[in-house]
Structure 1
Amino acid sequence: MSEQSGARGAAAVAEGPHGSDGNDGDPMVVVADLERTYGRGGTAVHALRGVSFEVPRGELVALKGRSGSGKTTILNLVGGLDTPDGGRITLDGTDLAGLGDDERLALRRDRIGFVFQSFGLIPILTAAENVGVPMRLRKVPAREREERVALLLGLVGLADHAAQRPGELSGGQQQRVAIARALANRPVLLIADEPTGQLDAETGLAVMELLRAVVRSEGVTALVATHDAQLLALADRVLELRDGRIVADGAA
């Protein structure tokens, strides 16, 4: 099945993400005066300098900027992988500063899906087994897990590749498996860091179109870091970063 048909298949998915703990009228993500510095003294690197923005529910918002501009730092902080030095992050009505380590782990497992440039698939597992890993961690019953895996592989156009391992798949196919895995636990937020960085232009565009389609079909909100102008055009909104600050915020 082609990349494009996989994107079209997204529209057929009826199941949505977890119910929201916040107010449906509120933004999914609120970032206020975010500060993050790495190192100390003369070698300190100010990765973020008072960054503020909101991500409305159901939108795909892209972050663009040169390497070192702060894109990945923002994704790590919003995704609960790191903690800021100052400022506040609210995700689906939850203030991340108030969470302990176990609560952060549960947040990442149950409410956030991650897609990385390097795919991050487990080589010895099949495509279906890779997609099922997040649900195994949540101890989802086998039948429910298998049904969700089949649904998601169909969603990304890989129903016929369920038994293949990552090494037997193309780069575009591996990234589509990674997207399916990120959606396994019906997250409210999808975070993608340069998801097309290892793909050629045509495959990368198809993968970005797939992300656009699953945002619509699954009702998920997405925050995506990319530098590709063609991919940025598919976003609802683009935030441009430079030296740890947002220098532009507008429609793609």
Structure 2
Amino acid sequence: MVSVRGVRRSFGTGAATVHALQDVTFDVAAGTMVALVGRSGSGKTTLLNVVGGLDKPDAGSVVVDGTEVTTLDEDGLSRLRRESVSYVFQTFGLIPVLSAAENIGVPLRMARTPVAERERRVALLLDLVGLSEHAEQRPGELSGGQQQRVAVARALAASPRLLVADEPTGQLDPETGLEIMALLRGVVESEGVTALVATHDPVMMALADRVVRISDGRTTG
């Protein structure tokens, strides 16, 4: 599903240059969950951004679901993010004025999915993340864990092939974080999605099919 070869990414110039990624090479098999593990500043977020098409590397190649991401123009990248790749961040990123159901349905509205199909998909996802009874509540009326569940459901709305999650439990207490990690493990199996998850949580590492460690911009595992 994901093939990264010889990826490099630096920021700044001269003595101030930061080598965020250095000759990174690894693969993610379809239908698996891979935990990307490393301390703060190790390059995790940069690597996720490059894989998901939010940033371009200085060198190397990234292939996602058969598409060479690093050669896409803006239209191609938009299509990739709309059809193949979805994101979950630790800040939730929900729209405050919309209900849980409406937030989940946003990607489907953008894709102009017919109303009946959109409503069916939203209902299915609300049930999947255990929030059917909270469909009409807005983010401010939900707990942090519930908001992250909505964010996961929204990321799955358009049936992506790859789910990229950057520290999805970073703002949650340990018990709630465990629930979200178990949910992500479950959606990999029930939705057939592939997941690349940046984390430092040992429980997430245990739930993953594989652990890739990153340190000073270099990966192992």
Aligned pair partner of 1:73 in 46, 60, 67: 46
Gap runs ≥5 in structure 2: none
What is the CA–CA distance in structure 2 between the aligned matches of 1:69 and 1:211, rounded to whole Å?
23
Partner of 2:67: 94
Equivalent position of 1:46 in the other structure: 19
The 1-side partners of 2:29 and 2:57 are apart by 22
Structure 2 CA distance for aligned equivalents of residues 196 and 180 of structure 1: 15
- Residues of 2 paired with 1:181 and 1:35: CA distance? 31
Q: CA deviation at 1:97?
A: 2.4
- Identity fraction in percent: 63
Q: Please say if residues 121 and 157 of structure 2, whose CA atoms lie closer than 8 Å, have aligned partners that are also in contact.
A: yes
Q: Which amino acid aligns with 1:30?
A: S
Distance 2:123 2:209 in 1: 29
Equivalent position SS for 1:233 = helix
Please state if 1:144 is matched with 2:117.
yes
Which 4+ stretches in 1 moved above 3 angstroms?
none
TM-align CA RMSD: 0.6
Q: Which runs of 5+ in 1 are unaligned?
A: 1-27
Match of 1:181 in 2: 154
Q: Deviations over 1:97-155 (max 9, x none)?
A: 23111010010011111100000000110000000000111111111111100000000
User: What is the aligned partner in structure 2 of residue 32 from structure 1?
Assistant: 5
CA distance in 2, matches of 1:188, 1:154: 20
Q: Does 1:237 align with 2:210?
A: yes
Equivalence map 1:50-61=2 (5 Å): 50-61=23-34
1:202-231 CA-to-partner distances (Å, cap 9, x unmatched) read 110110000000000100000000011122
Supply the distance in 1 between the matched residues of 2:86 and 2:126 (Cα, whole angstroms). 16
List per-residue Cα deviations over 1:9-67 (Å, max 9, x = no partner).
xxxxxxxxxxxxxxxxxxx0000000000111111110000000000000000101111
User: Secondary structure of the equivalent of 1:31?
Assistant: strand
Distance 1:87 1:98 in 2: 11
Once the two structures are superposed, what CA deviation does each residue of 1:58-114 show, in whole Å capped at 9, x if it has no partner? 000010111110100110000000000000000011111231110100100111111
1:184 is displaced (CA, Å) by: 0.3
Aligned residues: 221
TM normalised by structure 2 equals: 0.99
Equivalent residue for 2:185?
212
The TM-score, its normalising length taken from structure 1, stands at 0.87
Q: Is the 8 A contact 2:53 2:70 kept in 1?
A: no
Task: Give me the whole-angstrom Cα distance separating, in 2, the residues matched to 1:71 and 1:180.
Answer: 23
